[in-house]
Structure 1
Amino acid sequence: MSRDSRSDIAAALARRRLGCVAIGASAGGIDALFTVLEDLPASGPVPLVCVLHLPTGHDSKLAEIFGARLRLRVTEARPGERLAAGTLYFAPADYHLLVEPDRSFSLSCEAPINYSRPAIDALFDSCAEAFGPALLALLLTGANDDGARGLARVRAAGGLAVVQDPAEAQHPAMPQAALDRAGADLVLPLSRIRELLATLMRS
């Protein structure tokens, strides 16, 4: 497990050909996501898929909020839609978001996981199966332990696991739980995660 090294970032990306970035965040996640995504170019070689915990009973406005500020194409994932490079997808409210082996989206109304629907674990589990070593999974700030089990699945499938440094997270419980249960390939502050994504999206 490496912390905050530019050479580690370059080496991690050089060792693999990535096909997808899966991102999980909870409390404090909107600010964290803007920090890591706001400088990304309008096009790139991979899709980005995000689960951000939302209060139940409310429609998600995340695609509108982020689409107004980012250069990336931003949309809410739709069932049956195939993932497209250079696009940021958000899970719709009150559905688990899954990526199928053919790299299309599906939605699930199964019970909440870690009190959350959508759940980060559900996304990470399905992406690990669909992409294996071609997956980069990012876990950011949050106040529970969603994502820890899924990150372990990502690593077992050969994917690259990156966790926000709990010392700088607005809510450190989620990244710390992931490190305790799954470990990580890189533990980085948001500024270095932004750098990693910028390097990836320029490649």
Structure 2
Amino acid sequence: MRAAADLVVLGCSAGGLRALHVLLSGLAANFPLPLAAVCHTGSEDVSLLCELLARSSTLPVQEASERCAPKPGQIYIAPSGYHLLLGVDGRFALSVDARVGYARPSIDVLFQSAAEACRGRLIGVVMTGANSDGAEGLQQIRRRGGVGIVQRPDDAEASAMPSAALELAGADHCLPLEQIAGLLNRLCGVVR
């Protein structure tokens, strides 16, 4: 069975470290897609974030780098201070363009560039956060035929981000954090 997408993009902010830990620990070891995440942690040390997340994931976790082509079964974390984009050539690009919604990296920038590059073969996930970053990007993903998943606001540590995403973009699936990994596994035809 072919996966419903070519890439999964993840966005979170306040409470995001826990959210990523829960989601990544639930993915199957044979998860077939690359994942790219923007997490507003407030920390400059993305290598430490990668190290912490790798402890709970069966998949390798690394900082995204310029011109890197995302590989199946790998998790890429946006570097601090740079927007992470996916180019139409399928490779990551980093940008120091102006902050978007007070954030760099911006979830919207990743989601919107990936929506264009993947032409609908994309899954976007918005989780806990204290702002509206990700809402416009999720709207673009869904408009282009991709799948939008949003953590239930009443389940999120900070409900502003998932609430904003639901209000602007809606969702194909809105569920508690603990169920998102299982849904991703099913969408990609794998079992844990």
Contact 1:97–1:108 (CA<8 Å) still a contact in 2? yes
Q: What is the number of equivalent residue pairs in this alignment?
A: 189
Corresponding residue SS for 1:192: helix
2:158 matched to 1:171? Answer: yes
Partners of 1:143 and 1:17 lie apart in 2 by 30
Distance 2:8 2:99 in 1: 23
> Which residue of the partner structure matches residue 60 of structure 2?
73
Whether 1:55 aligns to 2:42 is yes
- The two structures have a TM-score, normalised by structure 1, of 0.88
- Which deviations, in whole Å up to 9, do the C-alpha atoms of 1:92-120 show, x marking residues without a partner? 01000000011100000011111111000
Give the equivalent residue in structure 1 for 2:5.
Answer: 18
Structure-2 separation of matches of 1:198 and 1:45: 9
Give the aligned residue type for 1:168: D
| % identity of equivalent residues | 43
Deviations 1:12-58 (A, max 9, x none): xx9973110000000001111111110323332110000001326x2
Structure 2 residue aligned with 1:4? none
Distance apart, 1:192 and its partner CA = 1.8
RMSD: 1.7
Q: 2: CA distance between counterparts of 1:25 and 1:154?
A: 16
Structure 1 alignment gaps of length 5 or more: 1-13
The normalised TM-score by structure 2 is: 0.93
1:112 aligned to 74, 83, 99, which one?
Answer: 99
- Residue 127, structure 1, aligned to residue 125, structure 2: no
Structure 2 residues without counterparts, runs of 5 or longer: none
Change (3 A) 1:51 1:35: same
Greater displacement, 182-191 / 98-107: 182-191
Contact residue 74 and residue 89 of structure 1 kept, 8 A? yes
